[in-house]
Structure 1
Amino acid sequence: MSRSRLIGMRMSEALSALEKYLAKVEARGPLPDGARAALLALPTRIKRFGTYQDIVREGDRTGESCFVESGLVSRYRTLRNGTRQILSFHMPGDMVDLQSALVVVADHGIRTHMPTIVVAIPHDDILRIAAAHPAIGRAFWFDTLVDAAIFREWTVNVGRRNTRERAAHLLLEFAVRFEAAGLVRDGEFELPVSQNDLADALGITAVHMNRTLQWLRGERLIRTHM
């Protein structure tokens, strides 16, 4: 592959990630033309990861935030005994770690669940564009509020719902968010996470997760294809 072709592919991937984020932002209301152009012109760096690779490790000092162009990632914490709690999932069009522009030491890790491409934006440029374009600053702020709302719902889910309700809620969240990202076809979507991953998101064992999925299938609440 020629160097010019490779550069063209990288520019296309970066623009695709920014356009997906822009589409999500403008679903709430259009941005001014100047703000749209500034967002799409942000300097970017393409990063490719395989399955179950860390994008950020807990304790890292990061100088950039990432948009998901393709794939699926999660934020997670690992305890001293080696157990893991998944905190959230992120899909194409999401900015995964906007908070790191101000909180520079990561208090959680970010890991892929399938081959993933992210587009990294330097923190200085994120802060600059937010200050220069108030509409973008408000969009970034809104993103953090949505993240906080999802975190609150996850707290209720893990803390107060029974296991079947927890699993059903998480699967419905996937369905809604994948549909918003244009990844649902005929009511179905690919979910590239293992039963261990789902268990770590719901605070249960993998064995309990397996039984719960069997119950949901038996009640015809979900359908799976291998």
Structure 2
Amino acid sequence: MSVNASSLLPYVEKIERRRPLSDEARAAFLALPVQLESYGTYQSILNEGERPDRCCLIVEGVVSRYKSLKNGRRQINSFHYAGDMVDLQAAILTVADTGIRTHTPTKAVRIDCEDILDLAEKYPEWARAFWFDTQVDASIFREWTLNVGQRTAVERVAHLLLEISARLESIGQSDGKEFVLPVTQADLADAVGLSAVHTNRSIQQLRHSGALRTHGRKVVIENYPALAKVASFDRTYLHPEGPRR
């Protein structure tokens, strides 16, 4: 398998966990020309207001999409992991309304937007897959809006930790109970709309309740039902069931 194809494979595997692709459609995606890029920690991949001509697929690492104010304050809207096409909407939207930034050393491939559109036009199964992928992103954004707008500090943090666990589990980086937190507490704070101090206090409260245990960045969920109850966590919004068949 070529370097290009191996870089694209994580996304194919993600799509096929939801619904198998035809051999022809699979081969067509893996044959797309791509540009492989490496980034350091906290490096910008895309800035708000830019006009991207390529979509970004994460091969390794963790990135976020965010909105920022003129004074520099930042609200993280979502985290993305290996196998995620972070800005698939760039194939349709000509101006980036969110920024993309790394949180760890990251490898990503950039795919020409026209190639994405051509693939969707030629293969309806890819059009459905791309459409479903953007709908899952939108569902996550809606859940994060509820998280920041209506849940308490402890509930927000608990919910985000459970989401991170679920999404890492889907790519083999968590067993559903234990995982290495791929972002800092300051990053968590930017995602849940709290100060770093308040975020830390919320984690300590969850530890004292016995729901979870932490050691450095290692997180162990000791009592999943209790933590899920605190967060009102229901992974339905991640749509693991896949698209309508």
Common topology (TM > 0.5): yes
- Specify the code of the residue in structure 2 equivalent to 1:214: Q
5 Å-filtered alignment, 1:30-179, equals 30-179=20-169
1:185 CA displacement: 4.7
Aligned-pair distance for 1:46?
0.3
Question: What is the rounded CA distance, in whole Å, between the counterparts of 2:191 and 2:41 in structure 1?
Answer: 17
Letter in 1 for 2:27: A
CA distance in 2, matches of 1:27, 1:190: 23
Of residues 215-224 and 182-191 in structure 1, the stretch that sits farther from structure 2 once superposed is 182-191
User: In structure 2, what is the Cα distance between the partners aligned to 1:17 and 1:149?
Assistant: 26
RMSD: 1.4
2:12 equivalent to 1:22: yes
User: Is this contact kept in 1: 2:169–2:176, CA < 8 A?
Assistant: no
Q: In structure 2, give the amino acid aligned to 1:146.
A: V
Letter in 1 for 2:87: D
Overall identity of the aligned pairs, in %: 55
Task: State which of 198, 201, 220 in structure 2 corresponds to 1:208.
Answer: 198
Structure 1 segments (4+ residues) deviating >4 Å = none
Structure 2 regions of 5+ residues with no counterpart? Answer: 217-245
Q: How far apart in 2 are the matches of 1:67 and 1:187?
A: 27
Q: Which amino acid aligns with 1:29?
A: R
Q: Deviations over 1:81-136 (max 9, x none)?
A: 22110000000010000001111211111000000000110011000001000000
Shift of 1:159: 0.7
TM-score (norm 1): 0.92
**Gap regions ≥5 residues in structure 1:** 1-7
Equivalent position amino acid for 1:64 in 2:
R
Note if contact 1:16-1:69 (Cα within 8 Å) is conserved in structure 2: no
2:170 paired with 1:180: yes
